[in-house]
């Protein structure tokens, strides 16, 4: 068995060094301490508490909760509504992220170089993003409403077409919500893409031009590859944000028709605060978190292969 | 690689943290309307809800704290009642906080769990079983009934049964409210129909409805060239499913759950026929607007003379008061039967008053005084359109003078039914509402399949221990 053979003077020196280092690092720890405190109280603790509650049949007024192990997770596997809401959410997320990225990329390419009015257009495209989601919901209702919506007004009165039940048709309701969300959020992605494009060295474009590359080739072989780190950031943050979609369906459709636009977080909220099934709701949140983590890792892995730093 | 690892870690932490937020708080209130809201029509038609209404009545150091959801047009009458209470009881003061119902049901359990409940709450009879099962309410027998302060037999018997859990009466009814038929006599006369002769069954109703419905060119649904996309006057509207569907199901002999509370019967032949009837009204006969999210509120159609029969709440009395022109051509009647055999039934509910678990003796005493006052002064509450809870108050001349209230009172006592009390009531309600929403979503919806799926879900809830 190995034992320490350090002399007393050497031990004192080591301790001295340790305290010296601690004294030097202490201000750093003190700086992060306030944040760490609130982070722990309001985020870390709830995360672990949520994990714990998911293992119980949690009743709000009971002091001794009934431990049920993984029963909530087993029930979740057989819960058709959960899978439907998860599928709705995934569909909404995929649609929104794809439309957001394509539109933002397109607009950012157009607005990359300054021209008269380019700053105005940047502000204009970003402006919807400063609206609160409740305002977005009310606008959404006014646009998509079958009877009094502005879209159907144009379709019926100007084009002579039929009234379309945008929010009443299970096949159209999620695309309608996705389009509404894209209008609201693509400005942020656009700004990030513009910033990313400005980081690409200009000589690369000049060299490509000298070699006879056209705008499309330049975009494909220079802009897109060098924009991959930005793309990764945009896709991952958009994915995480849209997987948690709540207020748009909550305000605009109430999750209907039927469950056609009910999102997973909406179901989670209802399970906890309407049905008082807090344990089950916690298991939904844990599963959602796991899904987001797994998909994020997959996105990272896939996109990293195409990333040029 | 280090950059990548750092980035990956960062994103993982972000994912966990964002997921922990679980979608966050709602930015606005949900679709569903409280039974006391004047605008309560269509659960699938979300409207922005008001922010909490906080009012103080009287001045004292230790007010009676009351939470409720009476934020609609009846809220104004309720505020007047509270003022009358503090005027009559100068030793008491009141802090009244009105919330949209979804916010109310978040605050109520958390406040009780935290040991800081209000002294008194008002919500609906239908939700009593669930709240009582969660341990959020005090039994009221020893507080207000057993000492003779209030007499249980003076309330609607069905209602008392609905708020009795394990043999204990958990609340005090404040009113009876529910569906009533409001109809436009002018439009009936214009269509050549006698407003005093109403259809008695489903077949008769379709015949009448086709005469009443007309498009912008004046054509009826059973005529060549009828433009279903540009209807000028509708015969009926599919109003708040929470009341319309149970009413129709019971008329047809169906329901959501069997009487013993053990079996889902949403997919019984009778229930399917009831929902199919509404589907036909919308998509086969074109006499009712399609039940789609965001559809126009029936009240807006009605006040513009574009709707003849409106199944709406007793609280529509306030709406009529605000719209005297349309009120002048409006009559009320029992909800008309849509069933083939003309069987009558109607759903009603009640705003009930209760004391949350954990309220101290002083709070209980104050709450008891307010409850007694509100019940005994139900005649004033009737001016909001709601039916007073006590039958003896219903019989008062000033209550009988309000036509809609008198009709509704008779109707609820004769053919009124309440929802089945169950500890998972709200979840069951959400399940059937979703199923019916699916059934009526489009002309091609398979009603039977949608109701079967809903029944399976309801049964799964009933099967839970």
SS3 per-residue string spanning B178-213: EEEEEEEHHHHHHCCCCCCCCCCCHHHHHHHHHHHC
Assess whether pLDDT exceeds 90 at residue A15: no
Q: What is the pLDDT of residue B297?
A: 86
B102 contacts in A (CB within 8 Å)?
Answer: 273-274
> What is the pLDDT confidence band of residue B74, given thresholds at 50, 70 and 90?
confident
User: d(Cα B403, Cα B322) in Å, to the nearest integer?
Assistant: 16
A247 contacts in B (CB within 8 Å)?
Answer: 26-28
User: d(Cα A264, Cα A283) in Å, to the nearest integer?
Assistant: 12
Determine the average pLDDT of the residues in A267-280: 93
Which one of B15, B130, B237 would you mutate to disrupt binding with A, by most A Cβ within 10 Å of its Cβ?
B15
Assess whether pLDDT exceeds 90 at residue B366: yes
Q: Which residues pair with B65 in a beta bridge?
A: B95
Which one of B7, B105, B293, B454 would you mutate to disrupt binding with A, by most A Cβ within 10 Å of its Cβ?
B293
B43 vs chain A: nearest CA distance in angstroms? 8
Determine the average pLDDT of the residues in A4-25: 79
Determine the average pLDDT of the residues in B264-289: 97
Assess whether pLDDT exceeds 80 at residue A137: yes
How far apart, in Å, do the first and last CA atoms of chain B sit? 52
User: d(Cα B145, Cα B85) in Å, to the nearest integer?
Assistant: 21
The correct answer on CATH 1.10.3720.10 for the domain covering A87-304 is yes
Contacts of B80 by beta carbon, 8 Å cutoff, 6+ apart: B380
Q: In this complex, do B296 and A147 lie within 8 Å of one another by their Cβ atoms?
A: yes
> What is the pLDDT confidence band of residue A306, given thresholds at 50, 70 and 90?
low
Assess whether pLDDT exceeds 80 at residue B250: yes
> What is the pLDDT confidence band of residue B52, given thresholds at 50, 70 and 90?
low
Assess whether pLDDT exceeds 80 at residue B40: no
Assess whether pLDDT exceeds 70 at residue B48: no
Assess whether pLDDT exceeds 50 at residue B23: no
User: d(Cα B400, Cα B395) in Å, to the nearest integer?
Assistant: 6
A209 vs chain B: nearest CA distance in angstroms? 32
For A152-176, letters b (16+ CB in 10 Å) and e give beeeeeeeeeebbbbbbbbebbbbb
Q: In this complex, do B24 and A134 lie within 8 Å of one another by their Cβ atoms?
A: no
Q: How far is CA A161 from CA B61, B230, B285, in A?
A: 65, 12, 22
What are the residue boundaries of the structural domains of chain A, listed by start?
A: 87-304
Q: Is B296 within 8 Å of chain A by CB? A: yes
Q: Is B304 within 8 Å of chain A by CB? A: no
B450 contacts in A (CB within 8 Å)?
Answer: 258
Q: Is A61 within 8 Å of chain B by CB? A: yes
> What is the pLDDT confidence band of residue A308, given thresholds at 50, 70 and 90?
low
Q: Is B89 within 8 Å of chain A by CB? A: no
Chain A (124-183) residues lying within 8 Å, Cβ to Cβ, of chain B: 132-134, 137-138, 141, 144-149, 156, 162-163, 165, 167-170, 173
Q: In this complex, do B135 and A61 lie within 8 Å of one another by their Cβ atoms?
A: yes
Q: In this complex, do B15 and A137 lie within 8 Å of one another by their Cβ atoms?
A: no
Q: In this complex, do B28 and A251 lie within 8 Å of one another by their Cβ atoms?
A: yes
Q: What percent of chain B has pLDDT over 90?
A: 76
- What would the pLDDT profile of A61-85 be if each residue is shown by its tens digit? 777 888 999 999 999 999 989 999 9
Considering only alpha carbons, which residue of chain B is nearest residue A143?
Answer: B294
Q: In this complex, do B134 and A141 lie within 8 Å of one another by their Cβ atoms?
A: no
B423 contacts in A (CB within 8 Å)?
Answer: none
Query: Are the C-beta atoms of residues A231 and A308 closer than 8 Å to each other?
Result: no
- What would the pLDDT profile of A196-219 be if each residue is shown by its tens digit? 999 999 999 999 999 998 888 999
Residue among B126, B347, B160, B349 at smallest CA distance from B255: B347
Q: Is A245 helix (H, G, I), strand (E, B) or coil?
A: coil
Assess whether pLDDT exceeds 80 at residue B44: no
User: d(Cα A196, Cα A225) in Å, to the nearest integer?
Assistant: 11
Q: Which residues pair with B313 in a beta bridge?
A: B179
B436 vs chain A: nearest CA distance in angstroms? 7
Q: Which fold has domain B53-174+350-376?
A: D-Maltodextrin-Binding Protein; domain 2 (3.40.190)
Q: Is B33 within 8 Å of chain A by CB? A: no
Q: Among A43, A81, A292, select the one facing B15 at the smallest CB separation.
A: A292
Q: In this complex, do B11 and A165 lie within 8 Å of one another by their Cβ atoms?
A: no
Q: Is A19 within 8 Å of chain B by CB? A: no
Assess whether pLDDT exceeds 50 at residue A146: yes
Phi, psi of A218 (to 5 degrees): -60, -45
- What would the pLDDT profile of B380-414 be if each residue is shown by its tens digit? 999 999 999 999 999 999 999 999 999 999 999 99
Check for a shared fold between B53-174+350-376 and B179-348+424-463. yes
User: d(Cα A58, Cα A67) in Å, to the nearest integer?
Assistant: 8
Q: What is the pLDDT of residue A63?
A: 78
Determine the average pLDDT of the residues in B327-346: 97
Q: What is the pLDDT of residue A107?
A: 94
Q: What is the pLDDT of residue B41?
A: 32
Per the prediction, chain B carries an average pLDDT of: 88
Contacts of B387 by beta carbon, 8 Å cutoff, 6+ apart: B175, B176, B177, B314, B394, B405, B408, B409, B412
Query: Are the C-beta atoms of residues B33 and B47 closer than 8 Å to each other?
Result: yes
Q: Is A54 within 8 Å of chain B by CB? A: no
A149 contacts in B (CB within 8 Å)?
Answer: 294
User: Looking at the domain that runs over B179-348+424-463, which CATH code has it been given?
Assistant: 3.40.190.10
User: d(Cα B129, Cα B421) in Å, to the nearest integer?
Assistant: 6
Query: Are the C-beta atoms of residues B69 and B34 closer than 8 Å to each other?
Result: yes
Phi, psi of A251 (to 5 degrees): -85, -45
Side by side, the strands of the sheet bearing B172-173 are B53-57, B94-98, B64-68, B120-124, B351-354, B172-173
Q: In this complex, do B441 and A43 lie within 8 Å of one another by their Cβ atoms?
A: no
Q: In this complex, do B293 and A167 lie within 8 Å of one another by their Cβ atoms?
A: yes
What are the residue boundaries of the structural domains of chain B, listed by start?
A: 53-174+350-376, 179-348+424-463
């Amino acid at each position: 068995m190995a034992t320490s053979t350090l002399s007393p003077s050497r031990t004192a020196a080591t301790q001295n060094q340790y305290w010296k280092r601690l004294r030097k690092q202490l201000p750093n720890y003190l700086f992060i301490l306030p944040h760490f405190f609130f982070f722990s109280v309001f985020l870390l603790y709830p995360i672990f508490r949520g994990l714990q509650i998911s293992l119980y049949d949690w009743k709000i007024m009971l002091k001794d909760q009934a431990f049920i192990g993984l029963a909530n997770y087993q029930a979740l596997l057989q819960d058709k509504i959960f899978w439907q809401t998860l599928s709705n959410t995934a569909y909404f997320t995929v649609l929104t992220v794809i439309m957001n990225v394509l539109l933002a990329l397109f607009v950012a390419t157009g607005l990359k170089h300054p021209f008269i009015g380019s700053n105005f257009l940047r502000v204009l495209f970003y402006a919807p993003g400063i609206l609160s989601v409740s305002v977005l919901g009310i606008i959404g209702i006014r646009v998509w409403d079958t009877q009094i919506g502005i879209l159907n007004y144009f379709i019926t009165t100007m084009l002579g077409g039929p009234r379309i039940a945008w929010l009443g048709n299970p096949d159209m309701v999620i695309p309608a919500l996705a389009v509404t969300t894209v209008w609201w959020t693509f400005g942020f992605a656009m700004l990030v893409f513009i910033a990313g494009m400005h980081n690409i060295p200009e000589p690369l474009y000049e060299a490509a031009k000298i070699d006879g590359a056209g705008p499309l080739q330049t975009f494909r072989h220079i802009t897109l590859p060098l924009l991959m780190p930005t793309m990764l950031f945009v896709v991952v943050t958009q994915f995480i944000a849209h997987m948690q979609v709540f207020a748009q369906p909550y305000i605009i459709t109430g999750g209907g028709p039927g469950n056609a636009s009910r999102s997973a977080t909406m179901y989670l909220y209802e399970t906890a605060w309407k049905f008082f099934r807090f344990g089950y709701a916690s298991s939904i949140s844990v599963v959602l978190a796991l899904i987001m983590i797994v998909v994020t890792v997959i996105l990272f892995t896939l996109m990293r292969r195409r990333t040029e730093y | 690689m280090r950059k990548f690892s750092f980035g990956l870690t960062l994103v993982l932490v972000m994912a966990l943290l964002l997921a922990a937020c679980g979608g966050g708080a709602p930015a606005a209130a949900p679709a569903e309307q409280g039974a006391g809201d004047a605008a309560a029509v269509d659960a699938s038609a979300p409207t922005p809800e008001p922010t909490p209404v906080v009012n103080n009545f009287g001045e004292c150091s230790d007010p009676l704290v009351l939470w409720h959801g009476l934020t609609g047009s009846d809220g104004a009458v309720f505020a007047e009642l509270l003022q009358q209470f503090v005027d009559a009881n100068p030793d008491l003061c009141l802090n009244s906080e009105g919330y949209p119902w979804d916010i109310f049901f978040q605050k109520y359990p958390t406040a009780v769990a935290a040991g800081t409940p209000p002294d008194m709450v008002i919500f609906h009879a239908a939700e009593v079983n669930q709240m009582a099962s969660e341990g959020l309410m005090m039994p009221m027998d020893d507080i207000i009934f057993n000492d003779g302060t209030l007499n249980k037999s003076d309330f609607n018997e069905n209602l008392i049964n609905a708020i009795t859990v394990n043999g204990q009466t958990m609340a005090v009814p404040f009113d009876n409210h529910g569906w009533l038929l409001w109809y436009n006599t002018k439009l009936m006369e214009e269509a050549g129909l006698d407003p005093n002769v109403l259809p008695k069954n489903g077949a008769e109703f379709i015949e009448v409805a086709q005469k009443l419905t007309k498009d912008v060119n004046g054509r009826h649904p059973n005529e060549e060239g009828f433009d279903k996309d540009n209807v000028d006057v509708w015969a009926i509207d599919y109003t708040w499913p929470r009341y319309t569907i149970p009413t129709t199901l019971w008329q047809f002999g169906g329901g959501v759950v069997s009487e013993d509370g053990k079996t889902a019967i949403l997919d019984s032949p009778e229930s399917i026929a009831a929902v199919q009837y509404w589907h036909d009204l919308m998509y086969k006969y074109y006499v009712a607007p399609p039940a789609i999210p965001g559809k126009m509120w029936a009240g807006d159609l009605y006040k513009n003379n574009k709707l003849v029969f409106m199944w709406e709440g007793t609280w529509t009395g306030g709406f009529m008061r605000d719209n005297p022109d349309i009120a002048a051509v409006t009559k009320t009647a029992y909800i008309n039967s849509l069933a083939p055999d003309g069987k009558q039934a109607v759903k009603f509910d009640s705003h009930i008053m209760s004391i949350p678990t954990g309220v101290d003796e002083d709070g209980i005493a104050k709450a008891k005084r307010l409850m007694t006052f509100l019940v005994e002064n139900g005649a004033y509450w009737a001016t909001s359109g709601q039916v007073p809870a006590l039958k003896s108050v219903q019989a008062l001349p000033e209550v009988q003078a309000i036509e809609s209230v008198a009709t509704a009172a008779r109707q609820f006592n004769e053919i009124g039914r309440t929802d089945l009390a169950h500890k998972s009531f709200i979840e069951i309600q959400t399940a059937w509402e979703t199923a019916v929403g699916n059934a009526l979503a489009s002309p091609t919806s398979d009603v039977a399949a949608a109701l079967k799926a809903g029944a399976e879900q309801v049964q799964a809830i009933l099967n839970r221990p």
